[in-house]
């Protein structure tokens, strides 16, 4: 009960929702009556809260993905602001959640959140800044061409720790200038990691220039198990990994085929030895339109 017998009730500094009603009586002989209620909903004062990051405030250029979190706010998020010129100008972001997700940043940026509780004045958080670190420099060198069996020193450089992939044909994959001895045309990727963990990469292609095939194709072999001339031999075929061979009997039936032949056919078909006789081969290469044809004799008799 409020002791006030006037027709006016002044209220100030209300901190919670409240309901007012006036109690009226004409005379002491009349019944008491109460006015309709006047309800006042009090919104809590706006508190902008504070911003934090789920990880570090320094990220690598382009290779970043993180979230700015709004904590301790009182009121709804009206939106976010972003600045890429140290707060001189701000751009509005249509985001009314307490999380601002970013990714692929290439330059420093600042974020703020705008908060309002009910009809109370709008408040804006203190800004949070994200420093975008440049990627380390990296240069894998110039593409080169070598011949079969040759080696080449890769001429890489960069501002960080190097790692080359693939590693198999390299003398040392964790130096800038390893010796490469590829057996096929190979793209080598140089990955450089700096002291901040930022990564950058570049690629060099070492082309293996295989000359036109001019090897001798053996016209007979003796698969009799004496370890002498037991397989069909094609000279230097190991340098032509794109080869494909087909062998037919005298009736035109295919008895052997293989892509990437490596001098390992012992004159068999479906696991069984073929009879002695003359067979006909076709040899071709993916990178050439030329086709080589001839005959080969299987001679098992000792």
Sorted by sequence, the CB contacts under 8 Å of residue 176 that are 6+ apart come out as 154, 155, 156, 157, 158, 162, 190
pLDDT at 210 over 80: no
| Helix (H/G/I), strand (E/B), else coil: 237 | helix
Q: What mean pLDDT is predicted for residues 143-163?
A: 96
- Give CA–CA dist 215/290, Å, rounded: 14
Under the banding of pLDDT at 50, 70 and 90, the label for residue 154 is very high
Homologous superfamily of domain range 50-133: Immunoglobulins (2.60.40.10)
Q: Residue 67's beta-bridge partner residues?
A: 101
* pLDDT for residue 241 is more than 90: no
Among 5-14, 65-74, 76-85, 233-242, the least confident range: 5-14
Share of the chain above pLDDT 70, in %: 100
pLDDT of residue 302: 57
pLDDT in tens, 257-290: 999 999 999 999 999 999 999 999 999 998 788 9
Nearest to 279 by CA among 241, 223, 238, 235: 223
Average pLDDT, whole number, for the chain? 94
Task: Kindly report, residue by residue over 71-123, the tens digit of the pLDDT.
Answer: 999 999 999 999 999 999 999 999 999 999 999 999 999 999 999 999 999 99
Overall average pLDDT of the 194-221 stretch: 94
In angstroms, the CA 178 to CA 220 distance is 43
pLDDT tens-digit map of 173-192: 999 999 999 988 999 999 99
Which residues in the chain are classed under CATH 2.60.40.10?
50-133, 138-208
CA 40 to CA 17: how far, in whole Å?
A: 6
**Encoding tokens for residue 289?**
């339109």
Structure confidence at residue 195 (pLDDT): 96
CATH number for the region 138-208 comes to 2.60.40.10
Give the residue, 197 or 43, on which the prediction is more confident.
Answer: 197
pLDDT of residue 271: 93
d(CA 52, CA 72): 11
Residue 297 is predicted with a pLDDT of 97
Give the mean pLDDT of 137-158: 96
CATH topology of domain 220-298: Immunoglobulin-like (2.60.40)
Q: How far is CA 216 from the centre of its chain?
A: 48
pLDDT at residue number 22: 82
How many other C-beta atoms can be found within 10 angstroms of the C-beta atom of residue 164? 22
Residue of higher predicted confidence among 32 and 102: 102
Q: CA distances (Å), 301 to each of 52, 63, 230, in order?
A: 85, 68, 12
pLDDT over 80 (residue 40): no
Dihedral angle of Cα 167, 172, 173, 174, to the nearest 10 degrees: 160
- Whether the predicted pLDDT of 166 surpasses 80: yes
Residue carrying structure tokens 């693939």:
166
């Amino acid at each position: 009960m409020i002791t006030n017998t006037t027709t006016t009730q002044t209220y100030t500094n209300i901190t919670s929702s409240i309901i007012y009603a006036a109690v009226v009586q004409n005379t002491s002989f009349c019944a008491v009556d109460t006015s309709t209620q006047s309800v006042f909903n009090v919104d809590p004062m706006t508190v902008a809260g504070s911003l934090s990051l789920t990880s570090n405030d320094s990220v690598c250029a382009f290779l970043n993905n993180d979230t700015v979190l709004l904590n301790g706010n009182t009121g709804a998020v009206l939106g976010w602001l972003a600045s890429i010129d140290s707060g001189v100008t701000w751009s509005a972001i249509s985001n009314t959640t307490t999380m601002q997700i970013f990714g692929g940043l290439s330059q420093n940026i600042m974020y703020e959140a705008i908060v309002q509780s009910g009809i109370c004045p709008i408040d804006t958080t203190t800004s949070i800044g994200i420093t975008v670190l440049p990627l380390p420099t990296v240069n894998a060198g110039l593409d080169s061409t070598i011949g079969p069996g040759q080696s080449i020193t890769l001429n890489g450089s960069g501002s960080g720790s190097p790692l080359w992939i693939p590693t198999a044909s390299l003398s040392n994959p964790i130096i800038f200038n390893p010796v490469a001895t590829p057996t096929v045309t190979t793209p080598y990727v140089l990955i450089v990691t700096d002291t901040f963990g930022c990564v950058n990469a570049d690629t060099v292609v070492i082309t293996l220039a295989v000359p036109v095939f001019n090897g001798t194709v053996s016209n007979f072999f003796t698969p009799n198990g004496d370890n002498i001339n037991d397989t069909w031999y094609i000279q230097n075929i190991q340098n032509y990994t794109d080869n494909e061979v087909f062998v037919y009997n005298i009736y035109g039936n295919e008895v052997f085929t293989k892509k990437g032949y490596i001098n390992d056919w012992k004159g068999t078909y479906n696991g069984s030895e073929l009879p002695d006789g003359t067979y006909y081969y076709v040899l071709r290469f993916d990178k050439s339109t030329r086709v080589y044809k001839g005959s080969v004799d299987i001679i098992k008799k000792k």
